[in-house]
Structure 1
Amino acid sequence: MCVEILIVLSDPIPHKHTDTLMEKVMLSSSLTWFVTAVGLLVAVGGWKLLNWLLLRPKKLETLLREQGFHGNPYTLFANNNSSSNNTKPMTLSDDKDIAPRVYSQADHVIMKFGKNSFFWEGRTLKVNITNPEHIKEVLTNNRYFKKEKPNLMRLATLLGSGLPNYEDQQWHTHRKIINPAFHLEKLKVLTSTMVQCCDDVITKWEEMLSSEGKCDIDVWPSIQNLACDNSLWKQLSRRKKNFRTPYQASYTYSEIKISSHPRMVVLIMLLLPNSVNRSMIKIDREIEASIEAIVSKREKAMKDGEEVNKSDLLGILLESNSKEIKEDGMSNREIVEECNTFYLAGQETTADLMVWTVVMLSRYPEWQTRAREEVFQVFGNRKPDSDGLNRLKTVTMILNEVLRLYPPVLFFNRRVQKDIKMQNLSLPAGVKVTLPILLIHHDRELWGDDATEFKPERFSEGIAKATKGRLSYFPFGWGPRICIGQNFSLMEAKIFLTLLLQRFTFELSPAYAHAPFVFLTLKPMHGAQIILHKL
C-alpha cells in the first residue's frame, strides 16, 4: 500500500496542467496587486477629498478661533452667502446707514460676531480685516496678499484684464509705463477736453428747461454716458453708427437683474448662451476691434514721424509706451486691455461719485450753497482750469465725504499666498481676507457717533487729520496698488460740479426713489431724479 502511494506521488504532473496552474497563480497575483493598487488609490483619493472638503476647512477655522475670531461653524452644505441688495426704495429719513441694505453679508457677520470675525463662501474661509494697522499691512505687502481673480467670466473680460488684475513683474512693468499718463502735469493737458465733455452734458440739460427755467430730469443716464476723456469714444462712434461705450455695454448685465439673485444663480446665468451673454460677447469683440484699429493707426502715425495726439489718455499712454518699447513695452493687445480698464472701470467709479454728490448736495442745500459760493469766488463765470481746481477746498471736502459714505467699491478681497504673521494675528496660506471699505468708513469707533451722517467739515483740515493718522479711509485703495486713476477721477468730478453749480441750483424731485444697490459698484437703482433751476 505504501508503495502504491509513493508511486502515485512521484508520478509527474502533465505539462499542460503545470502551465494552467502557473497562469492561475499569476492571474491571482496580478488581480491581488490591482485590487490593492485600486484600494490604495481610493484610500488616498478619499483621504484627500475628506481633507479638502472637511479637515482643512475645520483646521483653518480652529486656528482663527484660537486667535479670538468668531463666525458660523463650517459645514459641508451651509452657505453663508446672502443677497446684498434690496430692491425696495428707502425713505430718506432712514438713510442713516446703507450697509445692512447693500452689504448685508459682512454687516450681519460683524454685527453678530464682532470685528474679529470670519465667514464662509463654500469652502473658502474669508476673514474680515478691520484693524487699521492690519489693513495697512494687507494693502502694502503684495508678496503675501494677492488680488482675488474675478470669476464672472464675460463680465470680467469686459472689465478688462489690465493693470488692476496683474501681479508681480507684469504689474510692475505696466505700472511703470502707465504711471506717467496719470501724473498731475499730464492731466492738466486733458483739462480742456474734460471741460468740453462736461459742458456738452450740462448744455443739453439747459435745452430741456421749461419756460419757467426749470426741469425735472433723471441725471443718472447722462452722467453714466459722460466719459470725460471721450475723444476716443467719439472716434469709435464715428466708425459704428450704434456704437456703445464699454460703460453702456457693461450695464447691459443689469437686464438679468443681477442684484436680486444668489451668487450661484448669477454665475450660471453668466455662463448660459442666453441673449444677454451673446449680446455682451458681440459688443466686447466690437469694442476691442475698434480700439485696436485706432491704436494701430496712431502707432503708425508715430512711426511716420507725426506728432502724438495728447488730447486724450490713449495718446499719453502711447507716448509713454514708446519710450519703453525697446525693453519692456506693452504690446498692442495689452494697450487695448488697458484702454478697456481706463474707460470702463475708471469711468464707472467716477460716474458713481458724481451722481451721489449731486444727490447729497440736493439733500443738503446749505452745502450746495457753500460750494457754489466757492466756485464763483475762484472762477466767476469762467470755465474751470487746473490751477483753480486745486483751490476748491469746500468742493474737495464734499467729494471726500461722499466717497466716505458712498464708496464706489464696497470691499477689497485678497488671498493669502504664504503663511504670514501680522502683529498678534497669524494667517495661513489659502484663506482670503476681506477689507470691508464701507463698514470701515461708517465705523463709529473710528469716525465718531456721527459716522453715518453727511458732514464734509470733518475733512476741513485734510484726510490725515480726519482719520487721525489711521488707515480708515481708502476709497481708492492704498499702498503700491492705489488706484492709478485717482487724480483723474477727482479732477473730472470737480470740473463737472463746477460747471453744474455755475448754471443751476438743484433739489431732489418728488419722484426720486432712494435705493442704493450694488452692480459692480454702488449705484442708484432707480436713477437720480433731480429738479434743476436755472441761475
Structure 2
Amino acid sequence: MEEEEFVAIMKISLPVGIIIAIVGGISIILMCAYGGEWRKSQRIRRKLRMQGIKGPPPSSFLHGNLPDINRINKSAHHQQAEAVQTNSYDGARHHPHPHQELDFTASLFPCFEHWRKQYGLVYTYSTRMKQHLYVNQPELVTEMNKIMTLDLGKPTHVTKNLAPLLGNGILRSNGLSWAHQRKLVAAEFFMDKVKGMVGLMIESAQPLLKKWEELVEEEGGTAEVEVNKDLRTLAADVISRVCFGHSYSKGKQVFSKLRFMQTTMSKHGTFLFGVKGLWDKINFLKKKENEVSMKEMETQIESLIWELVEERKLECSEKPCLEKDLMQLLLEAAAIDEGLPKNSGKQFVVDNCKNIYFAGHETIAITASWCLMLLAKYPQWQTRVRDEIVELFPTGIPDADSLPLLKTLNMVIQEVLRLYPAAAFVSREAYEDIQIGNLHVPKGVCLWSLIPAMNRDPENWGQDANEFKPERFSEGLSKACKYPQAYVPFGLGPRTCLGKNFAIVQLKVVLALIISKFSFSLSPSYKHSPKYRMIIEPEYGVHILIRKI
C-alpha cells in the first residue's frame, strides 16, 4: 500500500516539478535579458557622464527616473489646478507686468525645468532601460538640427505610442520610408503652390466671418466668441480643400475622431514616457467617453478616410482635374508602390491622409487662437496691424503677392510662435553612435530639446524674454536674438516642418480678414491656462469680445 501511495505521489509531483523547472528557467532567461539591458543602459550612462554630463540618479532599478517624473509632474499639476481655480492664471487680469506673459514651461513640463535648474542646459536621465539626453544649449541644438544622416530619427518609443493616431505616415515614420514620403508631400507645400491656395483660404473663411457678423448683430453690437473652435473648423476646411479636393463637411467625422484620439491619448497618461500608474489606467478605462477602444476608433477613421478616397477617385475618373491635389499624388504613389513595403498601398494613402488632416489644421488653428488672444490683450498692436492691412488691402481682401508686405503682422506671428509655440519638443533618437558638436551620443540615446524653454531663455532673448514685444523681429530673426538657430517653431535643417509656408500664409490670410472686419478684446471669462495635448493649446479655449468695424 505504501509503495502504491509513493507511486501516486510521484505521478502528481512529476508534472509539478516540470512546471516549476520551466517557470524557473523562464525567470532566469528574463532576468538575464533584463540584466543585459540594464547593464547596457548603465554603460551608455557612464559614457555620457565621462563627458561631464550629469543628471538625476535612477530612483528605481526597474523604471529609472519614471517615479521621479510622475512625482514632480503630479505636484506641479496640482499646484497649477489650484492656481487656475483661484484665477491667478487669468490672462486678462493677473500678470506681474503689463507686457509680460506668464512662463508656463515649469507648469507643463515640470520635470525638465526642475532638473534644468539643478544640472544646466544639458543633462541625462532614464525611463526604464532607455537613456535620455536633455539638450537646450543653443549651439548643440543648432548642430543637432543640421544633421542630414538617417541615423538620427524620431524616438521609437514615442512613435510606437502614436501609432493609432498617425499610422506610419510622414509624422511618425523614419529612415527611407520617411525620406520617400517627405519627397512626395513636400512638393505640395512649396511657396509657388501655396500662393495658389490663397483664393481657397479666403473662400473658406467667409462662413466664419458671416457667422461672427450675424452674432454681433444679434447681440446688439458686441458678442463673445470662443474663437479656437471656429478657427479649428476653418483650418480643417482649408486643408480639406487644398489637399484632398473636398470641404470640411465631408471630412467632419474624421477631424472629430482624430481630435478625440488626440485628447484621449493625452489624458491616458503621458505618451512621451508611457502610462502613469495602474490606478490611473483603470480609472481611464472606466470613463464612459473612453468605452470605444483606441483600436476601434482607429478602424473607424481609416474606413471614413478610405470612403473619401474612393469618392475622390470616382470624381477624377468622371472629370479629370487640370492640377493634381495631394490625394491624387498619394494614390499614384501607392499604385507605383515605389519605396513602400509590399501590399501597403492603401495603408500608405490612409496614414498620410491622417497625418495631413491632423497636422494641417490643429497647429494653425491653435496659433491663430493665441494670436487673437494676444492682439486682444494688446490693442495697440491690433491697431497697428489693422492700419497696415487697410493700407495694403483697401478692400479688406488680401492677395498672394502682397502678403509678404505685411511686416507688422509677420512680427506679431513670429512673437506669438516664440511665446506660445504649438510644438513643445524637438525629439530625436540616435540609431547609431553619432557626433553632435563636441558631444558623442551613443546609439539608443533619445535627445530632447524643449522649445518653450529655448524661446524664453534670457541668455538668448534678453531680460524681456517673457514680454510680448513683436518689435524684436523688426529687423528679422538674425537681429531678434543672440542664437537665431535656436528659434525652431517649425524645426530646422532637413526635418523642417514641410507645412511651414502653408501655415504662415494661412495665418496671414485668416488674421488679415478677421482684423480688417472686427475689433476685439479679452472676455472676462477667459482663463489663461496653456495645456499640453501633443501641442500647446488653451485648456479652456480663447474667449474674446468682438465688435464689427
TM-score by length of 2: 0.81
Q: What is the aligned partner in structure 1 of residue 276 from structure 2?
A: 264
Q: What is the aligned partner in structure 2 of residue 80 from structure 1?
A: 68
Aligned residue identity for 2:503: S
Tell me the distance in 1 between the aligned counterparts of 2:445 and 2:392: 51
State the Cα distance separating 1:168 from its structure 2 match: 1.9
Please say if residues 422 and 535 of structure 2, whose CA atoms lie closer than 8 Å, have aligned partners that are also in contact: yes
For residues 122-521 of structure 1, the aligned pairs below 5 Å read 122-141=128-147, 142-149=149-156, 151=158, 156-209=163-216, 210=218, 212-226=220-234, 227=236, 228-231=238-241, 237-238=249-250, 245-250=256-261, 253=264, 256=267, 263-265=275-277, 268=281, 272=285, 275=288, 276=290, 278=292, 281-302=295-316, 304=317, 306-308=319-321, 315-319=325-329, 322=332, 326=336, 328=338, 331-468=345-482, 470-521=484-535
Q: CA 1:386–1:245 in structure 2 vs 1: closer, same or farther (change >3 Å)?
A: farther
Q: What is the aligned partner in structure 2 of residue 526 from structure 1?
A: 540
State the Cα distance separating 1:273 from its structure 2 match: 8.5
**How big is each residue's C-alpha offset from its partner over 1:403-457, in whole Å with a ceiling of 9 and x where there is no partner?**
1111111112211111223332222112211111111111111111111111111
**Residues 274-283 or 94-103, more deviating:** 274-283
**3-state SS of paired residue (1:344):** helix
- Give RMSD over aligned pairs: 3.4
Tell me the distance in 1 between the aligned counterparts of 2:28 and 2:304: 55
**3-state SS of paired residue (1:390):** helix
**How big is each residue's C-alpha offset from its partner over 1:264-284, in whole Å with a ceiling of 9 and x where there is no partner?**
249946995965251655554
Tell me the distance in 2 between the aligned counterparts of 1:289 and 1:235: 18
Please say if residues 233 and 245 of structure 1, whose CA atoms lie closer than 8 Å, have aligned partners that are also in contact: no
State the Cα distance separating 1:479 from its structure 2 match: 1.2
State the Cα distance separating 1:99 from its structure 2 match: 0.9
**Residues 259-268 or 483-492, more deviating:** 259-268
Tell me the distance in 1 between the aligned counterparts of 2:373 and 2:430: 38
Q: What is the aligned partner in structure 2 of residue 66 from structure 1?
A: 50
State the Cα distance separating 1:225 from its structure 2 match: 2.1
Tell me the distance in 1 between the aligned counterparts of 2:277 and 2:210: 42
**How big is each residue's C-alpha offset from its partner over 1:26-50, in whole Å with a ceiling of 9 and x where there is no partner?**
xxxxxxxxx9x99999877645433
**How big is each residue's C-alpha offset from its partner over 1:284-312, in whole Å with a ceiling of 9 and x where there is no partner?**
4333223223323433554x4732275xx
**3-state SS of paired residue (1:68):** coil
**Residues 467-476 or 275-284, more deviating:** 275-284
**3-state SS of paired residue (1:505):** strand
Please say if residues 476 and 483 of structure 1, whose CA atoms lie closer than 8 Å, have aligned partners that are also in contact: yes
State the Cα distance separating 1:368 from its structure 2 match: 0.9
Please say if residues 154 and 280 of structure 1, whose CA atoms lie closer than 8 Å, have aligned partners that are also in contact: no
State the Cα distance separating 1:133 from its structure 2 match: 3.0
**3-state SS of paired residue (1:412):** strand
State the Cα distance separating 1:211 from its structure 2 match: 5.3
Tell me the distance in 2 between the aligned counterparts of 1:452 and 1:371: 21
**3-state SS of paired residue (1:264):** coil
Q: What is the aligned partner in structure 2 of residue 111 from structure 1?
A: 117
Q: CA 1:235–1:370 in structure 2 vs 1: closer, same or farther (change >3 Å)?
A: closer
Tell me the distance in 2 between the aligned counterparts of 1:243 and 1:173: 25
Tell me the distance in 1 between the aligned counterparts of 2:312 and 2:206: 27
**3-state SS of paired residue (2:156):** coil
State the Cα distance separating 1:197 from its structure 2 match: 1.7
Tell me the distance in 1 between the aligned counterparts of 2:122 and 2:263: 38
Q: CA 1:375–1:412 in structure 2 vs 1: closer, same or farther (change >3 Å)?
A: same
Q: CA 1:270–1:277 in structure 2 vs 1: closer, same or farther (change >3 Å)?
A: farther
Aligned residue identity for 1:59: R
Q: CA 1:374–1:236 in structure 2 vs 1: closer, same or farther (change >3 Å)?
A: closer
State the Cα distance separating 1:382 from its structure 2 match: 3.3
Using the aligned pairs only, state the percent identity.
Answer: 28
Tell me the distance in 2 between the aligned counterparts of 1:291 and 1:62: 48
Q: Mind listing any 5+ residue stretches in structure 1 that lack a counterpart?
A: 1-34
Q: What is the aligned partner in structure 1 of residue 17 from structure 2?
A: none
**3-state SS of paired residue (2:487):** coil
Please say if residues 424 and 451 of structure 2, whose CA atoms lie closer than 8 Å, have aligned partners that are also in contact: yes
Q: What is the aligned partner in structure 1 of residue 103 from structure 2?
A: 97
State the Cα distance separating 1:243 from its structure 2 match: 6.8
Please say if residues 397 and 460 of structure 1, whose CA atoms lie closer than 8 Å, have aligned partners that are also in contact: yes
Q: CA 1:298–1:496 in structure 2 vs 1: closer, same or farther (change >3 Å)?
A: same
Tell me the distance in 1 between the aligned counterparts of 2:143 and 2:532: 27
Please say if residues 349 and 408 of structure 1, whose CA atoms lie closer than 8 Å, have aligned partners that are also in contact: yes
Please say if residues 194 and 229 of structure 1, whose CA atoms lie closer than 8 Å, have aligned partners that are also in contact: no
Tell me the distance in 2 between the aligned counterparts of 1:431 and 1:323: 34
Tell me the distance in 1 between the aligned counterparts of 2:32 and 2:261: 44
Aligned residue identity for 2:338: D
Aligned residue identity for 1:110: R
Please say if residues 367 and 422 of structure 2, whose CA atoms lie closer than 8 Å, have aligned partners that are also in contact: yes
Please say if residues 509 and 530 of structure 1, whose CA atoms lie closer than 8 Å, have aligned partners that are also in contact: yes
**3-state SS of paired residue (1:225):** helix
Q: What is the aligned partner in structure 1 of residue 41 from structure 2?
A: 57
Q: What is the aligned partner in structure 2 of residue 14 from structure 1?
A: none
Q: CA 1:279–1:388 in structure 2 vs 1: closer, same or farther (change >3 Å)?
A: farther
Q: CA 1:523–1:339 in structure 2 vs 1: closer, same or farther (change >3 Å)?
A: same
**How big is each residue's C-alpha offset from its partner over 1:185-236, in whole Å with a ceiling of 9 and x where there is no partner?**
2122221221122221122111111454111222222122221233459657
Q: How many residues align?
A: 495
Decide which structure has the larger Cα Rg and report it.
1
State the Cα distance separating 1:98 from its structure 2 match: 1.4
Tell me the distance in 2 between the aligned counterparts of 1:150 and 1:346: 24
**Residues 163-172 or 319-328, more deviating:** 319-328
Aligned residue identity for 1:122: R
Tell me the distance in 2 between the aligned counterparts of 1:270 and 1:183: 46
State the Cα distance separating 1:71 from its structure 2 match: 1.4
Tell me the distance in 1 between the aligned counterparts of 2:355 and 2:380: 37
